[in-house]
Structure 1
Amino acid sequence: MMMMMMKQVGLIFLLTELTQVSTFTNYTACKNLDRKKTVIVTAGESLYLQCPNLDCYEDNYNSSYVWFKNLSKTMRLEKIGTEEHERVHYHRSVLYILQLTLEDTGHYITQEWYKDYKDPCHEFELDLVVYEEFSPNLLNSKISISRESSNSIPCPVCESQKGTFIWYKNFSLISSQESGNILRISNASKEIEGIYTCVCTWEHHGRKYNSSASRLVYIKEPSTFTSLQIILPINNSILQVDMGTEIVLTCSVFTGSFGKDKSSCYWKRNGTELDKVFGYKLEYREDDDVIHAVLTISEVSQVDLLSVFQCTAEDKSEVMFVSVTLKSKVMNFPLRSEDSQEMMHQGHEFCAQKAHKHVGVSSLTLISVCVCVLLLFLLITGAVKMFAVDLVLLVRGIFKKLNRKEDGKVYDAYVIYQRNNLDETSEKTLSEFIHEELPTVLEKNYGYKLYIPGRDDLPGEDCMNLIETKIELSRRLIFMISPGNREHEHSVSLEAYDVQVGLHQALVQGDTAVILIQLEEIQDYTHLPLGLQHLLKNNPPLQWRDGEKTSSRFWKQVRYRLPVPSCQKDCLKKTSVRFNYQKIPIENEQI
C-alpha cells in the first residue's frame, strides 16, 4: 500500500514538472555575438524595443525571430507571445511592452534564426530596468553644445517609427519650437543648460502611447577640459530616506585631461570601499567624458543613517571626494535631539541631587522620584509631537503678526486647477471645493486672501499678462490634482498657461512654495505634466475628503503650509461691507 502511494506521488511530481517545462519551451542556446546592453525606462509609458543589434533589426526578410524573458525567481526563460492584443508581445524583430510596470524589469534575449547560413542562429541580450518615477539614472548621455555654432538635440526614442514630439526643458513645456525629433538651438548661452526631455507619441493598432527620454545639456567650455571634477553629488548633501527601503546613489565624475582610461570613481562608507559588500551593489557606466559609479543600498539600516558616504574620484594627478549623509524622513519637530538629551541630563541631575541631599531617604523613594521625572519627560515629548502643528500655528500667529514686514505680495495663494477634460463627477466635486469650501474656510474663517481664476478675473484683461502678474504677487501656489478623463485618455491634463508659469516659478526660479491638494483617489500621475510629477515625488499631496470640518487635520495642514494671513477677520468684514455697499446702486440702476 505504501509503495502504491509513493508511486502516485512520484507520478504527480513528474506531471507537474512536465507542465512547468511546457511553459518554457522552444529555447535553444545560440551563439552570442554582442555585449549585453541596458535600457532604462519609466513606469506608465510604453516601449518600442528594437533588436539590440542593428543588422538584426534591419534583416527582416532572411531571418525569423524569437523573444524570451528570463524569470529571475525560477531562473528559466519564458517565451514571449506574438498576439497583437497582448500587453507584452513582439512582431518580427521589435518587442512591444505597453503601459510599463515595475514587473517588466528583467533580462531579455532576442534570437535571430537564419535561413541560408551555416550558423543556425545568433542571440542578443539586454537588461530592462523600470523606474516608478523620474530618477537621475533615467538621463541618457550628456550633450555638450558650443557657443560659436548652431546646435541640435536629437530625441533618442522613436528613431525608427513615426510619432509626434513635444519637448520640455527642466520639466517646463517648450512652446516656441518646431515639432520634430530634433530640437534646434542657436545663439547658445549659459541659460541654455538644463535637463531636456522629449516625449514621443506613437500609434499601435489604433491606440496612442507615449515614450520619453531625458538628456543633460551643458555649454562646452575650453577651460573645463583640464582637471578632474565631481559633478554629482553635491558635497555635504543630505538625502532623506525611509528605513528599510532601497535607495540609489549616483557619483558622476568629469574625467578631465587624462580621460576615462586613466580616471576612476567609487563609493566608500566611513572610509571603507563598498565593492562586494553584502547589501551594497556597485555598477559603473560611461558616457562622453563622464564616468558614473552607481551604488544601490538594498535596505537602509540604522548603521547607514549614522555613516558618511564618500564619492571618491582620482586620476594620475589628484584625488578628491564629496560626502553624502542619509537622514530618516520621520520628522521629530519641533523638539530637537539636543533638547531631548538636555532634558534627559537634567532628569539625571535631579535624581542625583535628591540622592545627595536626602541620604536617609529610602532607595525606593529615590527610584519613584526618578521614574516620575522620566514619565513626565516622555509625556511632554509625546504631547509636543501630537500637537506640533497646532503649536506652530498658534505661536507663529502671535509673534509674526507683531513683526510683520511687507514683502510686496498681494495674495496669500494663487489657486491652479484643471478646467477641461474632467468627467461630470470630478468636475462637480472640484467646483464645489474651489468655489465653496476653499473660500469659506480660508477667507471667511481665517482671513486669507486667495486669487481664484474664474472668480477674480476681470473682463477685458490680457489673460497671459494677468496670470504672470497674479502669480508673482502670490506667496504660495495651490495646485489641485485631478484624475484624467477616460474619454480623453491620451490628452495631457493641466496644460493651462497658469500651470506652466507656476511650475517655472516653483522649479526653475524657486521663488514660490507649492501646496498640493488631491480631492479623489488617483492610482497614478502619469497623465500630469512632468514638472508636476517631479513636485509630487518630493511633496505628497494633502488628501481632502468630503465632510472635512474647519478644525480638521487637513485644514490645519493647509494653514501650516500657508503664510500668516495678510488680512484678519475684522479686515475681511470691513471689505465685505464696503463691497456690498458699492454693489447696491448698480443693481438698482439695472432694475
Structure 2
Amino acid sequence: MTDLWIISVCFLAELVMTSTFTNSTVQCERQDIYHVRVIAGEGLYLPCPHLQCSDEMNASAISWFKNDSNGIQQIPAEESARVHYHGAILYILPLALNDTGRYITRWWYEYDKCDEFETDVVVYEEFHTDQLYGNFSEQTTTVEMLCPVCEKQEKNLTWYKDFHLIPGQTEWILRVRHTSKKDDGIYTCVCSWEHYGQTFKSSGSHQLQIVEPAKRYPPKILSPRNNSIEFTDLGTKQVLNCSVFFGTNVRDRFRIIWMRNVTPLEGVKGYSYYTREVNRTVLSVLNINKVSETDLHSVFRCIASDANKWVQVLITLKTRESVLPLVMMFLCMILLFLVTVGTMKWFAVDLVLCFRSFWIVWNKRDDGKVYDAYVIYQKDNMDDETEKNLAHFISTVLPTVLEDKCGFKLFIHGRDDLPGEDSLELTDARMQLSRRLIVVLTPGVSKGQKVMTPKGYDWHVGLHQVLVQQEMSAILIQLGGMSKYSELPLGLQHLLWKTPPLRWDSGSPQAACPGSRFWKQVRYMMPVPTAAAYCPKSSSPRPNFSQA
C-alpha cells in the first residue's frame, strides 16, 4: 500500500512538472539557426544544438517539432516511429528525401523560461558538393577538421580523402600537418553506430583547399584594348566586359568602376555592373539595358585601381552598318558573273571565230597537209529523197560554204577522184594529207534498213585514223533523224559518244549561210585556214596529184 502511494505521488509530480514545462502561454526565446546536410538512406543522430541542452537529463524538459507545409507538427517519442526523439536526441532512421525541412527544439530550462533552437536539415539523394560543411582554404601549418556527425555517442569512425580510406584515422578530429597543394581534396567522416540493436551509418564532408600566398601587382587591364569600338544597335541591350589582373589571391584593396564620360554609373537607372573573379583575373561586367543616342555619342570608361595606382580603358559604341548594300553588291556580282559566263559560253564560238579572223593573217602553217578535211558519206541503201538531199548537201552546200566562202580546202570522195587511180591507194594518200575527217550521217531506209550501214574502205580508214591512230579529229554532220545509234557499228557508236553530231536542217532559210549557228559550229571545229587560202572563190579548185 505504501509503494502504491509513493508511485502515485511521483506520477502526479511528473505530470505537474510536464504541464509546467509545456506551458503554451510562455514565449520561448529563439536562438541561432543551425544547418545539417545529410544523404538519404543514412541514419541521423541529431542532439539539441545547445551544449547544455544536449546534456539535459530530464526528458520532459525537451520537445521536438517539424515545421513543414502543414504547419508545426510535434514529433512523437515512440521508439516504433521512424522519426522520433529521446530527450535531447532526434532520430531519423533511415533518412528520406521528404525529411528535408526545419526542425524545432524547445528546451525548458526553468518552469517559465525556454529556448527554441531551429535546425535546417537538407537531405540529398547522393553526395553533392553543396553538402560540404566547410572550405578550409587558408594556408596554415596544421589544419584541424571536426567530424560533423556522430557527436557524443559510441561509434566506429573512419576518415576518407577523395573517397579513399585514410588508414589509422579514427578520431573525431582529423589533423592535417605541414599542408601543401597535394593535401587539397574532400575529406569525409563516416561513422557507424547502433540504436536498439540496429546499425546505422552517418557521414559528413569538408573540403580542404590550400591557396598560395597573395602576390599583388599593379592593376593591368587585359581586355578590352584602349579606344576599342563595340558595335551595337540602337534600343537594344549591350554588355561591356572589362578584365583586370591585380595579382594572385588578391581578395581586397582593389576596385573597378564604370563611367560614362565623367559620370559614374553606379546607381544610375538603366545601367548596372558587377564584379567576379575568373581564372586569377577580376571581371567587371557593365549592363546597358537600352542603348540610347547619348550612349552612341559618349565614351565609356573602365577604371581599375588599387592602393597605389589606377588605370583605365576607353570604349565607344557604334551602330552596326546595314549589311543590305553588301548583300546587294554581292548578289549583283554573282549575277554579273553568271551573265558573263553564260554570254561567253553562248558566244564562245563567235569569239573564237572573231579572233581566228585576225590570226589568219599571220597563219603560215607548213604541216605537210594539203586538205583541211576529208569528206566521207554513205553511198547506197538510201531512198530517193534521202539520196537527193545528200547529193545536194555534198555537191552544192558543203563546197559553197566551206570552200567558196570560208577558204577551206576539202577532198570529197566521188568528186575529187582522178580517173584510173587505185581506189585504195587514193583513199590512203588523201587521208594522210587531210587535217580533219568530216563524216556525213544519213538514215538508211531502203531495203528494210532502219539505220545507216556505212560501207567502204574510206569509212574503215577514216575511223581507224580517228579512233586508233588519233592523227586527225572528226566532225560529225547529221542529215535527217537518227534515233537508234545503238544499231550502228561499235566504232561509229564510240565516235558519236565522244563527239555529238551537228544536225543540218535542209529546210532552214540559213541552211547555206556561213553565219548560221550550224556553220559556225562547223567552222569552229575546222582548222584555221591559211592566209593564202582564205579568199572567196567562184569554184572549188581541183588539186592535181599527178606529180604527187
Larger radius of gyration between Structure 1 and Structure 2: 2
Greater fraction strand: 2
Query: What TM-score do you get using the length of structure 1 for normalisation?
Result: 0.34
Query: What TM-score do you get using the length of structure 2 for normalisation?
Result: 0.37
